[in-house]
Amino acid sequence: MTMWKKFDFFSKLTELFFGKDKYPQAYKKRTLARAGAQFVVETMDTRHLDDVMELQRRVYQGETPWQPAAFLVEMHNPLPHLYLVVTHHGKVVAFIGCRVTNQDGHITNLAVDPAYQHRGLALFLLQEIAAFAKSLRCSSLSLEVRLGNLAAQRLYRKFGFITKAVKVEYYTETQEDALDMIYLFEE
Ligand SMILES: CC(C)(COP(=O)(O)OP(=O)(O)OC[C@H]1O[C@@H](n2cnc3c(N)ncnc32)[C@H](O)[C@@H]1OP(=O)(O)O)[C@@H](O)C(=O)NCCC(=O)NCCS
């Protein structure tokens, strides 16, 4: 069985548990021009998972912090959620995920292929997630980021996130602390 077919099978299983995903239609596929290149931004689905795994390996030195099952569960989550991919010539070059609880859009995941960084893709994805959360009347966005991940912290501060707290040894495998960051929508 090819990987794609395997993911599709798991996707159908997840659907049996959680029902059909109600949220993919929340985002209308669009194109984006950045630094002379044309990108497509659309909802993540099972067909993208092989690429998303490869992208994680490029970003995280061969590691895949999130396994396909974790994405599948999120993509079928009964809570409002939005998982987006950016593709270039059909290949996934960036993705972001967000799940909404108690009027807060929690960003679970964000990565941009090293070859496509510094073109504003991450900022664009944050804006799209903010628009989604706002459409659901959220009052905030939130996320955790490693204390040592200064590049991501700079991105989040540039967007308007502030640090709410430090979560001590939040990443259990490395005992690294996390910054708990929040972005408040204006009234
Ligand atoms: C962090 C990350 C998502 C940024 O993606 P990106 O598309 O390159 O970011 P953008 O081009 O939208 O950058 C916007 C701003 O973020 C900040 N920034 C982004 N990358 C940076 C870097 N390597 N060093 C310092 N600041 C950085 C800058 O303020 C930048 O604005 P500028 O270009 O005007 O200086 C990307 O580097 C990445 O995937 N890193 C590995 C995975 C990761 O850390 N994910 C976040 C987990 S919490």
- Enter the DSSP assignment of 186: P
Average pLDDT (73-100) is 95
| Per-residue model confidence as pLDDT tens digits over 81-92 | 999 999 999 999
Q: Which atom of ligand 1 is nearest to the CA of 109?
A: 47
Distance CA 136, CA 142 (A): 15
Task: Give residue 179's pLDDT band: very low, low, confident or very high (50, 70, 90).
Answer: very high
Predicted pLDDT at 7: 67
Report the side by side order of strands in the sheet with 140-146: 30-34, 37-43, 81-88, 91-101, 104-112, 140-146, 176-184, 162-171
Predicted local distance difference test score (pLDDT) of residue 19: 65
Task: Give every CB contact of residue 81 below 8 A, 6+ residues apart in sequence.
Answer: 23, 74, 75, 97, 98, 99, 100
Amino acid 1: pLDDT: 46
Residue spans per domain, the chain: 3-138, 139-187
Pick the CATH number of 3-138 from 3.90.650.10, 3.40.225.10, 3.20.20.70, 3.40.630.30: 3.40.630.30
Categorize the per-residue pLDDT at 21 as very low, low, confident or very high, splitting at 50, 70 and 90: low
As a 3-state breakdown, the chain gives helix, strand, coil percent values, each rounded to 5, of 35, 35, 30
Q: How far apart are CA 149 and CA 170, in angstroms?
A: 14
Ligand 1 center–CA 21 separation, angstroms: 30
pLDDT range class, residue 10, cuts 50, 70, 90: low
Q: How far apart, in whole angstroms, are the C-alpha atoms of residue 72 and residue 24?
A: 13
Pocket-forming residues, ligand 1, beta carbon under 6 Å = 59, 110-112, 117-123, 145, 149, 151-152, 154-155, 158
Report d(CA 50, CA 85) in Å as an integer: 12
pTM for this structure? 0.92
Q: What is the mean pLDDT of the chain?
A: 92
